[in-house]
Amino acid sequence: MTTLPVDTPNDAYDDAHEDGNVLAGPLSEVFAVDLTAAIATCTNCGTAGPVARLRVYGRGPGLIARCPNCTHIVLRLVRSPGTAWLDLRGTVSLRIALEDN
């Protein structure tokens, strides 16, 4: 059984994170557009910014992306064989720029 990454008190203060660009590969398996440029709005503090600026913790298969302003979890992504779990409950919205034809 696959479970989503759990928020632990220590990872909020752990500086061993990468920026949201590490989500580009895993998210490209699920979405046809590059979501690292999408604007995510944090449910906790209202900060809006590119997914690429989120602070990402974890080394697959589970990744936790936190708000760079308040460290609230904005996005969780777990990849297992044949399945991707995406938890966006920390996101008010994702604004995705599309090229209209």
In the bound state with Zn ion, the residue whose beta carbon lies nearer, of 14 and 60, is: 14
In the bound state with Zn ion, the residue whose beta carbon lies nearer, of 65 and 77, is: 65
The strand order across the sheet containing 73-80 reads: 18-19, 55-57, 62-66, 73-80, 83-87
Taking the complex as a whole, the smallest distance from the CB of residue 21 to Zn ion amounts, in Å, to 19
User: Left, alpha or beta for 5 (phi > 0: left; psi -120 to 50: alpha)?
Assistant: beta
In the bound state with Zn ion, the residue whose beta carbon lies nearer, of 5 and 79, is: 5
Taking the complex as a whole, the smallest distance from the CB of residue 70 to Zn ion amounts, in Å, to 3
In the bound state with Zn ion, the residue whose beta carbon lies nearer, of 52 and 67, is: 67
Taking the complex as a whole, the smallest distance from the CB of residue 39 to Zn ion amounts, in Å, to 13
Taking the complex as a whole, the smallest distance from the CB of residue 14 to Zn ion amounts, in Å, to 17
Binding site for Zn ion (CB under 5 A): 42, 44-45, 47, 67, 69-70, 72
For residue 50, give the H/E element and its range: strand 48-50
CB 37 within 8 A of CB 44: no
Listed residue (4, 11, 8, 19) closest to 78, CA to CA: 4
